Structure 1
Amino acid sequence: TSGFTLVGEQSPFSCIKTQLVSAIHLQEVELKETPADDHLCPLSLFPYEAVEFIGFGRFHILLFFIMGSSNIVEAMEIMLLAVVSPEIRCEWRLENWQVALVSTMVFLGFMLCGVLGGYVADRYGRWKVVFGGFVWSAYFSLLTSFAPSYSWFIFLRSLVGCGVAGVSQGFVLKAEFIPAKHRAFLLPLASFELDPVQNQQSPFIPESARYQVSAGNVDAAVKTLQWIADMNRSSLPTGQLVEPAETGRGNWRILLSPSLRRTSLLLWFSWFVASFSYYGSVLSSSELLEKNLLCVTNIEWEHPAQRRLSGAPCYCIPFGFAEYQTLLISCLGEVALVPVNICLLNVFGRKMSLAVLQLLAAIFFMMVNICTTMFGFTLLLFLLRSLVSMNFNVVYIYTAEVYPTVARSLGMGFCTSFSRIGGMMAPFVAQVLMSQSVILALTPFAVACAVCALGNFLLPIETKGRALLPENEVMKS
Structure 2
Amino acid sequence: MATKPTEPVTILSLRKLSLGTAEPQVKEAKTFTVEDAVETIGFGRFHIALFLIMGSTGVVEAMEIMLIAVVSPVIRCEWQLENWQVALVTTMVFFGYMVFSILFGLLADRYGRWKILLISFLWGAYFSLLTSFAPSYIWFVFLRTMVGCGVSGHSQGLIIKTEFLPTKYRGYMLPLSQVFWLAGSLLIIGLASVIIPTIGWRWLIRVASIPGIILIVAFKFIPESARFNVSTGNTRAALATLERIAKMNRSVMPEGKLVEPVLEKRGRFADLLDAKYLRTTLQIWVVWLGISFAYYGVILASAELLERDLVCGSKSDSEVVVTGGDSGESQSPCYCHMFAPSDYRTMIISTIGEIALNPLNILGINFLGRRLSLSITMGCTALFFLLLNICTSSAGLIGFLFMLRALVAANFNTVYIYTAEVYPTTMRALGMGTSGSLCRIGAMVAPFISQVLMSASILGALCLFSSVCVVCAISAFTLPIETKGRALRQIK
Which bracket does the TM-score occupy, shorter chain normalised? Answer: 0.7 to 0.9
Counterpart-to-counterpart distance in 1, 2:477 and 2:407: 18
Match of 2:402 in 1: 382
Q: Which moved more, 1:337-346 or 1:357-366?
A: 337-346
Q: CA deviation at 1:116?
A: 0.5
Q: Deviations over 1:68-94 (max 9, x none)?
A: 222112211222111111111111000
Tell me the percent identity.
Answer: 54
Q: Does 1:148 align with 2:135?
A: yes
Match of 2:364 in 1: 344
Change (3 A) 1:67 1:155: same
Q: Which moved more, 1:425-434 or 1:332-341?
A: 332-341
The AA in structure 1 aligned to 2:144 is: R
Helix, strand or coil: the match of 2:311? Answer: coil
Match of 1:116 in 2: 103
The AA in structure 1 aligned to 2:235 is: V
Counterpart-to-counterpart distance in 1, 2:264 and 2:164: 23
1:289 to 300, 306, 320: 306
Q: Which moved more, 1:303-312 or 1:75-84?
A: 303-312
Helix, strand or coil: the match of 1:113? Answer: helix
Counterpart-to-counterpart distance in 2, 1:149 and 1:199: 30
Counterpart-to-counterpart distance in 2, 1:163 and 1:308: 34
Q: Does 1:307 align with 2:327?
A: no
Q: CA deviation at 1:180?
A: 0.6
Q: CA deviation at 1:469?
A: 3.4
Match of 2:337 in 1: 317
2:471 to 437, 451, 463: 451
Q: Which moved more, 1:341-350 or 1:176-185?
A: 341-350
Q: Does 1:249 align with 2:236?
A: no
Q: Does 1:50 align with 2:37?
A: yes
Q: CA deviation at 1:335?
A: 1.9
Match of 1:330 in 2: 350
Kindly indicate whether the alpha-carbon contact (under 8 Å) linking 1:209 and 1:221 is maintained by their aligned counterparts in 2: yes
Counterpart-to-counterpart distance in 2, 1:355 and 1:458: 9
Q: CA RMSD in A?
A: 1.8
Kindly indicate whether the alpha-carbon contact (under 8 Å) linking 1:305 and 1:315 is maintained by their aligned counterparts in 2: yes
Match of 1:463 in 2: 483
Kindly indicate whether the alpha-carbon contact (under 8 Å) linking 2:96 and 2:149 is maintained by their aligned counterparts in 1: yes
Q: Does 1:86 align with 2:73?
A: yes
The AA in structure 2 aligned to 1:115 is: I
1:418 to 427, 438, 449: 438
Kindly indicate whether the alpha-carbon contact (under 8 Å) linking 2:227 and 2:490 is maintained by their aligned counterparts in 1: no
Counterpart-to-counterpart distance in 1, 2:274 and 2:28: 35
Q: CA deviation at 1:443?
A: 1.5
Counterpart-to-counterpart distance in 2, 1:146 and 1:337: 39
The AA in structure 2 aligned to 1:119 is: L
Change (3 A) 1:169 1:367: same
Q: CA deviation at 1:154?
A: 0.4
Match of 2:250 in 1: 233
Q: CA deviation at 1:342?
A: 0.7
Kindly indicate whether the alpha-carbon contact (under 8 Å) linking 1:294 and 1:369 is maintained by their aligned counterparts in 2: no
Counterpart-to-counterpart distance in 1, 2:73 and 2:156: 32
Kindly indicate whether the alpha-carbon contact (under 8 Å) linking 1:306 and 1:313 is maintained by their aligned counterparts in 2: no
With the length of structure 2 as denominator, give the TM-score of the two structures. 0.85
The AA in structure 1 aligned to 2:297 is: G
Q: CA deviation at 1:215?
A: 0.6
Kindly indicate whether the alpha-carbon contact (under 8 Å) linking 2:118 and 2:216 is maintained by their aligned counterparts in 1: no
With the length of structure 1 as denominator, give the TM-score of the two structures. 0.88
Change (3 A) 1:456 1:202: closer
The AA in structure 2 aligned to 1:376 is: G
Counterpart-to-counterpart distance in 1, 2:275 and 2:435: 18
Kindly indicate whether the alpha-carbon contact (under 8 Å) linking 1:291 and 1:306 is maintained by their aligned counterparts in 2: no
Q: CA deviation at 1:303?
A: 9.0
1:70 to 52, 57, 73: 57
1:354 to 347, 351, 374: 374
Higher share of residues assigned helix: 2
Helix, strand or coil: the match of 2:128? Answer: helix
Q: CA deviation at 1:306?
A: 6.3
Counterpart-to-counterpart distance in 2, 1:39 and 1:59: 38
Match of 2:116 in 1: 129
Helix, strand or coil: the match of 2:333? Answer: strand
Q: CA deviation at 1:112?
A: 0.7
Q: Deviations over 1:56-79 (max 9, x none)?
A: 000000001111222112211222
Q: CA deviation at 1:202?
A: 3.2
5+ residue gaps, structure 2? 1-23, 184-210, 325-330
Match of 2:421 in 1: 401
5+ residue gaps, structure 1? 1-36
Counterpart-to-counterpart distance in 1, 2:25 and 2:382: 58
Q: Deviations over 1:67-126 (max 9, x none)?
A: 122211221122211111111111100010000000001001100100100011000000
The AA in structure 2 aligned to 1:233 is: R
Q: Does 1:276 align with 2:322?
A: no
Counterpart-to-counterpart distance in 2, 1:212 and 1:150: 44
The AA in structure 2 aligned to 1:256 is: L
Q: Does 1:438 align with 2:488?
A: no
Match of 1:189 in 2: 176
Q: Does 1:428 align with 2:448?
A: yes
Counterpart-to-counterpart distance in 1, 2:295 and 2:234: 39
Structure whose alpha-carbon radius of gyration is higher: 2
Helix, strand or coil: the match of 1:307? Answer: strand
Higher relative contact order (CA 8 A, sep 6+): 1
